[in-house]
Structure formats: C-alpha cells, structure tokens
Amino acid sequence: MAGKVKRRVLALDPSTTCIGYALLAGEAPSGLLDAGLLKPTERRPERNMPDMVWWVLCDRQLRAYRRIYSLLADVRALVNDTKPGEIVVEVPSGKAGTASKRGARASLTTYAAAAGAVLGMLRALEPLHGAIVFPVTERQWAFGGGKDKRKTRCRVLYGKRYNPEQDKGADCADAILLGRWWLGYGATVERLLAEQ
C-alpha cells in the first residue's frame, strides 16, 4: 500500500499594505513549513517632475494600486519557490462594512482589487505553476473571534514558529489559520461541491 501523499498548501491573505502567507503540509504544528508577510517595495516619487504627474503619482488610491502591483511579483516568486499543490486565497465576501474590514485603512473596493489581482494572476498562471487555486471568503473559514484571538490561537498552536509582535494586522495569523482550515475541512467541501 502506497504511503499517503502530503499536501502542500499555500494560504494567502492579501491586502493593499501586505500579504500574509503560510505554507503548510499538515495540521500539526510541524506542518507549518513557512509563514510571514510580503511587504511592497514602494518609494515616493521624486519632486523633480511636472506638477500634474507628481500629484497623480502621489494620489492615495493610485499608491495603493502601485503597492498591489509590487506585491504581485512577490507572490509569483513565493509560488515558484515553495511549489505548492494547492493555493487558497482569501477574497472579499461581497458585503461592505463587514466587521473585519470596518475601519480598515483601505476601502472595500481597493481591498477587493488586491484580492482580485492576486487571485487573477494565480489563476492565469495555473498551467505554469501547476497548483490548483481556490478562492475562499473570510465568512467561510473564520468562525468568530477577531484578529487578536486569531493571533493568540496561532501562538498557542505554533509556539515560537509564530511571532505575534511582527504581525500587527494579523495577516500572517489569518493565512496560517486559513491554510489549517483548508487542510482539515475546506478542501473536502470544494470536492463535494465539484461533484454535484
């Protein structure tokens, strides 16, 4: 009898300021292979250009899109380096003003653009990287509790492998818990829905 193949799942929690990621090969603490934050490389435009161009480049909304573009290259490199079999991406639930997004710096539109850009790029590159990409809403996987509770849960589950002080927005914790949920429950649901 052949041994059970270990699944490698890359979970992503995209936003306009960073992307939390986690690479898991099982639900046990030893299954967390890597986790962290991807942060964009953005520099403020130099002032030695025509006023109109400078103001457009400094516009807050446009800066968000430049950050998203920068993050896409990092996500692509991460996928190439980690070679997951499955990629799970958190996407907006479609409800404006959800508890997790209320009061956030980015508008729901900009957050949706970030998640959509990551999901779209990964889906378009599926033939190249070979991983199957699944979108999941926060409502599907996050059962109660806010960001602080999720950070505490990660600290309890993964000990020193997770550092809550370096994860202010809990994006890394969300990616870890999303990946853990997917390994235990989410993939089964997707398969059942696909069979119907």
Supply the pLDDT for residue 9: 94
Q: What are residue 11's DSSP bridge partners? A: 22, 88
Q: What pLDDT score does 89 carry? A: 96
Please give the backbone phi and psi of residue 137, each rounded to the nearest 5 degrees, phi first.
-85, 155
What is the Cα–Cα distance from 39 to 129, expressed in whole angstroms? Answer: 22
pLDDT for res 102? 45
**In this structure, which amino acid lies at residue 8?**
R
pTM over 0.85, yes/no: no
CATH code for the part of the protein at 9-195: 3.30.420.10
Q: Which helix (H) or strand (E) holds 54?
A: helix 51-58
- Span 15-53, pLDDT tens digits: 888 999 999 997 777 889 999 999 987 555 455 555 555
pLDDT-derived band at 97 (thresholds 50, 70, 90) equals very low
Taking the CA atoms of residue 38, residue 41, residue 44 and residue 49 in that order, the dihedral angle to the nearest 10 degrees is: -140
Q: What is the dihedral of CA 153, 154, 160, 163, to 10 degrees?
A: -110
Domain residue spans of the chain = 9-195
With 60 as the cut, is the pLDDT of residue 135 above it? yes
> Which residues are within 8 A (CB) of 81 and not within 5 positions of it... i.e. 6 or more apart?
none
What's the pLDDT at 164? 86
pLDDT of amino acid 108: 77
- Residue range 178-185: mean pLDDT, rounded: 89
pLDDT exceeds cutoff 50 at 152? yes
pLDDT at 65: 77
Residue 60 pLDDT grade (very low, low, confident, very high; cuts 50, 70, 90): low
The yes-or-no verdict on residue 186 having pLDDT over 80 is: no
pLDDT score recorded for residue 76: 93
Q: Does residue 100 surpass a pLDDT of 50?
A: no
